[in-house]
Structures are given as structure tokens and as C-alpha cells.
């Protein structure tokens, strides 16, 4: 197999592009340790005061736990719905199969602000605004298409010989699914769960339409905080969120491996 080596000018260009893309993320960390009253770079002094202020901010901590709980619930529900739906789309032949798949994935085609306004109008009539179950349903509308697409691709690329062999040996359909199909879907399930968790945790536009004084999420709380103040506390929160994202990626890497999980 012939291996094409990348030229040095191309390597330098790629390196510069990576630095350009990662610069805003990298700058968050020194800014989070600034001792200034306002965001500025470079900082004139260094301190951990904004991390201390963050952990003393009860509203921010409450919003964080709300976002964490919301993302966990949405992730579990997304996987629970997407697994049988993806299996039905890829393994069964029934009238309206393509319509079924398109309806489930339609939210991906809509602008987020349009989807948020539509959800607001519908949820207002059912008194679901500023409630946890209302936020769960709204986030589920956004995350379910991602889970369904990833799992559908995972199932469609699997070799069906193992399933056919199990059926030939007398295994019942449910036994084939739980003993053969589901284990083969594990990398796709892990990828879908990680994606759904991050999408739900980071969702801000749709959540802005649905939150209120009784309940709010961390992205919305950050949005409101930045609107009124511009101090390095925001950088401290952002640094911790970057670390949380890296932690999710590391968990996926240690559990299944990124190549096995995301690359088909």
C-alpha cells in the first residue's frame, strides 16, 4: 500500500490552522486565572478568586446541577427510543418507513430559533414552560435525531451473518436482539449517548424560550450573566466546561475507543 507523505509546507499550514481554531479555547484558561475585575488579555494579575466566586455562586451551581440532571435524563430517553427505532428502520420493511425516519430526523433541518419558537407556542398551551419535564421533552426533540442517525448508521454497517446464524440455530427474535444485535450496537450506543449528553448540556437557544425564574440551565444562566457583567467568572465556567467535554471524550476513549465508536 502506497503511503503519501505530507510535505513540510502543508504540515506547517495545518499546524497554523489548528492553532487558529484552538486559540479561543486555549485563551480561556489563562483568562480564568486573571485577577482583574473585567475580562482582558493579557491579565494584569493572577488569582484563583473567580473559581472561588464560582463555587460560592448558588445560582450558577443550581443551574449546573439542573443542566447535568437534564442532560442525563435526555440521554437515557434518547437512547431508549432511538435503539428500537433504528432497528425498525434498518431491519424491517414496512409502509411509510422512510416517512417515519424523516419525521424523526426533521428537527435537524430546522433553524434552532424557529424550532424554539414552535416549541414555545405548543408548550405554552400545555403549561410546560419553566418545568423540568418540559425541558426534557424539548431537548429530546433535538437530541433524538442525532441518536437515531448514529444508531441507524451503526446498524446498517453491521454484518448480519451473526444474526442470521443465531436465527438459524433456533434463537428467538428477542434473544437475537439482546444477545447478538445489541452488543454489536454498543459502539454506536456509546457515541450516541456522548453526543446526546453534550448537545443537551450545551443547548441554549431553545432553552431560552422555555426557562424562567423557577428553573434555568447553566448555558442560559451564563447568557444572562454575560448580559449584565463581563468578569473572568465566565472564563472559569468555560474552562470547567471544556474539561467536562474532555472528560466525556476520555470516557468514550477508555470504554470503546474513539476510532471504534465514531469511525465506521
CATH number of the domain encompassing residue 140 = 1.10.3720.10
In sequence order, which residues have a C-beta less than 8 Å from that of residue 192 and are 6 or more positions away? Answer: 78, 79, 82, 146, 147, 150, 151
Q: Whole-angstrom Cα distance, residue 221 to residue 211?
A: 10
44, part of any domain: no
Q: Whole-angstrom Cα distance, residue 54 to residue 229?
A: 14
The pLDDT mean for the chain works out to: 86
241, part of any domain: yes
* Residue ranges, the chain, pLDDT below 50: 1-3, 261, 264
pLDDT value for 2: 47
26, part of any domain: no
What is the number of domains present in the chain?
A: 1
What is the residue range of 159's domain? 57-262
203, part of any domain: yes
21, part of any domain: no
215, part of any domain: yes
- DSSP characters over 36-50: SSS--SS-SSB-SHH
pLDDT value for 1: 44
43, part of any domain: no
2, part of any domain: no
Q: Whole-angstrom Cα distance, residue 82 to residue 90?
A: 12
Amino acid at each position: 500500500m502506497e503511503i503519501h507523505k505530507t510535505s513540510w509546507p502543508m504540515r506547517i499550514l495545518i499546524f497554523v490552522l489548528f492553532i487558529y481554531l484552538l486559540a479561543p479555547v486555549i485563551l480561556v484558561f489563562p483568562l480564568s486565572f486573571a485577577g482583574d475585575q473585567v475580562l482582558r488579555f493579557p491579565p494584569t494579575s493572577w488569582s484563583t478568586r473567580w473559581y472561588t466566586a464560582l463555587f460560592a455562586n448558588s445560582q450558577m451551581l443550581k443551574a449546573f446541577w439542573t443542566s447535568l440532571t437534564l442532560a442525563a435524563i435526555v440521554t437515557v430517553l434518547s437512547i431508549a427510543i432511538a435503539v428500537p427505532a433504528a432497528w425498525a428502520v434498518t431491519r424491517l420493511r414496512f409502509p411509510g418507513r422512510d416517512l417515519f425516519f424523516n419525521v424523526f430526523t426533521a428537527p435537524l433541518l430546522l433553524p434552532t430559533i424557529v424550532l424554539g419558537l414552535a416549541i414555545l407556542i405548543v408548550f405554552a398551551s400545555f403549561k410546560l414552560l419553566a418545568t423540568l419535564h418540559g425541558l426534557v421533552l424539548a431537548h429530546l426533540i433535538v437530541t433524538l435525531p442525532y441518536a437515531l442517525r448514529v444508531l441507524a448508521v451503526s446498524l446498517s454497517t453491521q454484518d448480519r451473518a451473526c444474526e442470521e446464524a443465531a436465527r438459524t440455530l433456533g434463537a428467538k427474535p428477542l434473544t437475537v436482539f439482546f444477545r447478538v444485535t445489541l452488543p454489536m450496537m454498543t459502539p454506536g450506543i456509546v457515541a450516541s449517548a456522548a453526543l446526546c449528553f453534550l448537545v443537551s448540556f450545551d443547548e441554549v437557544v431553545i432553552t431560552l424560550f422555555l426557562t424562567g425564574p423557577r428553573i434555568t440551565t447553566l448555558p442560559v444562566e451564563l447568557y444572562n450573566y454575560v448580559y449584565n457583567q463581563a468578569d473572568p467568572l465566565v472564563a472559569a465556567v468555560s474552562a470547567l466546561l471544556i474539561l467536562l467535554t474532555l472528560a466525556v471524550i476520555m470516557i468514550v476513549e477508555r470504554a470503546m475507543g474513539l476510532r471504534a465508536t465514531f469511525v465506521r
